[in-house]
Each structure stands twice: as C-alpha cells, then as structure tokens.
Amino acid sequence: MNIISGFTLTQYQHPVRKYIRSVVKNWRLYVFLAPAIVYFIVFAYMPMYGVQLAFKELSMRAGITASPWVDPLFKHFITFFESRKFFEVIWNTLYLNLYGLAAGFPIPIILAILLNELRSVRYRKIVQNVTYAPYFISVVVLVGMINLFFSNRGIVNQFLDFLNRDTVMFLQQGSYFPHLFIWSGVWQGMGYSSIIYFAALSGVPPELQEAAVIDGASRLQRIWHIKLTHIRPTIIILLILNCAYMLSFGFEKVYLMQNALNIQYSEVITTYIFKLGIGQRNFGLASAVGLFQNVINLIIMLSVNWVAKKTSDIGLV
C-alpha cells in the first residue's frame, strides 16, 4: 500500500469517496440546484471571457482572442476618464443610487413593522396584497403609467388645471427625472422588499414582548428595543448588498424614461455602456467602462462590509 506523508492512499481518497456518496444519496437536491449553477455559469462566469476586450482593439475577422492588444494597455480606461461624460455619468449614477437608498431602503422596514403591528389578520392581508401588486407590473407598463400621469396633458396636470394652477412639464424638465424615477420605484418595490423583514419579525420571541409589556414599555419602545434589534442583522446584510450595486443601475427603466431634454440628469453608466457598445460599436471602451463599474462596486461592497463588521460584528463574511 502506498504511503504519502504518513497517510495511506485509501485514507487520502476517503474524503472524495465520502463526497461522491453524499451526492448520490442526495441527488434530488443537486438536481434542484443544477438550474441555478447553470444560470451562473452561462450568465456570470462565461461572459468574463469578454473582459479582455477592455484591453484590446476588437477585430471582427480575428475574433476576441486574436484581436491586438491596445497600446498603452489601459488606453480605453484613460479615454473614459478623460471624456466629458465621465463626471456626468458617475455623478448621475451615484446620486440616483444614494437617493434611492435613502428613500427606498427604510420604507420596506417601516411597512413590515406596521404590518406586524396590525392585529386584524384580514386587514393585514389586504394591505399586503395592495402593496405587493405593483412589483409584478412590467417596466414598460410602469413607464407608460408615468407618462399617463405626468405628461403635459396627463392626469396630474389636468388636476392642476382644474385647480386653476399652472401645468408643470414633468417629463421635459430634467430636474424632475430623479424624483419620478426614484419614487415610482419605491412605490413599485416597497411591498415586495418588505417580505424578508416581515418574515424576520415573525421570529421575534413573544416572551420578550410580554416581558416588555410587564415592565411598562410602550409600543414604540418595544418596536425600537426589541423588533428593530432582532432584525438588525437582516437590515445590515441587505444594506451591504444594496451598496454592492452603487454604480450599477436598472437599464430598462432609465432608458425608457430618457429623452433629449432630461439626458443631462438621466445618463447613467448602464445607458452609457449600451450607447457605446451597441450604438457606436465601440466594444473595447464599453467593456472598459463595464469593468471599471464592477471593480468599483466590489470595492464599495468590501468597504461597507468591513465597516459593518467593525461597528456591529455583522457582515457577509
């Protein structure tokens, strides 16, 4: 029998055989897991092959691998940093994300707490259904609703006209774009986002609530010191995950709401990449901008996770 560093070959292979037996025994679970694995391989890992375009001058005839490297190697990144669009798209993306985080992150928590405080199960279900429903509206339909309400002759302006007030060009004035974009998103997603907080609140031990009532704690004190404390790990984890997309943004809704009059406020990194790659066929520069976006997202996520671990001992890893 072969001896390798004091271990027999049989002992060395034992963990592998143990793992294979576990896979065979639980093959049904792995079948359920397979679609998720295939999804990430196809849509997350295989596209990494195209990252090299950020450092190459693409030749359609030669293909990605055989295309020549640019000189200097970071030429596309330098082009992006020196372009007049750099500060505009970075500022718009950060502003919309921070605005969305400040407006949209606390509201699902508040909604979940309010639903948890409702004593009427029937009324709670009605509120849940009403707040969950907008999440299932498609982006195209949602943008159509925004146009219906806020166009020059939309419902809001007709109401202002009825009150003998001046109509407002919501869709033509770029300063209104962030508010329309963010608050329509808050309305659409607050019910769905509150589900995880509502589930976490259901795990609050009733003994703590009863003890707090006996000690004379008010409802607000019980919410602050018991319920919010109990769901704090959930809040911090979701905050870290939200910060991981600080330079990313939903492309479809921004692009559909964009027009020539609000482009100064609505041009974000995702739409800029789309216009570079598909519109101008500048795949190298588009890949460089996309790589820059993902690297910054990773740095922001790791930084926020480090701060969370230092201040609350809660983090992703």
Examine residue 2 and state whether it is found in any structural domain, yes or no.
no
Q: Look at residue 244 in the predicted model and tell me its pLDDT.
A: 87
Range of the structural domain that residue 294 is part of: 73-312
Work out how many domains the chain is built from and give that number.
1
Q: What confidence tens digit (pLDDT) does each residue in 258-282 have? A: 998 899 999 999 999 999 998 888 8
Dig out the tokens for 114 from the structure: 């309010």
Extract the residue ranges of the chain whose pLDDT is less than 50: 1-7, 9-12
Q: Omega into 72 within 30° of 0, i.e. cis?
A: yes
Task: CATH number of the domain at 214, please.
Answer: 1.10.3720.10
Q: Tell me the C-alpha distance between 309 and 317, whole Å.
A: 9
Examine residue 260 and state whether it is found in any structural domain, yes or no.
yes
Examine residue 251 and state whether it is found in any structural domain, yes or no.
yes
Among candidate residues 180, 192, 193, the one with its CA nearest the CA of residue 133: 192
Examine residue 283 and state whether it is found in any structural domain, yes or no.
yes
Q: Look at residue 14 in the predicted model and tell me its pLDDT.
A: 67
Q: Look at residue 74 in the predicted model and tell me its pLDDT.
A: 92
Q: For residue 69, what is the DSSP state?
A: B
Examine residue 82 and state whether it is found in any structural domain, yes or no.
yes
Among candidate residues 269, 197, 274, the one with its CA nearest the CA of residue 233: 197
Q: What confidence tens digit (pLDDT) does each residue in 213-256 have? A: 888 888 888 888 888 988 999 999 999 999 888 888 778 999 99
Report the amino acid identity of residue 63: G
Examine residue 221 and state whether it is found in any structural domain, yes or no.
yes
Examine residue 1 and state whether it is found in any structural domain, yes or no.
no
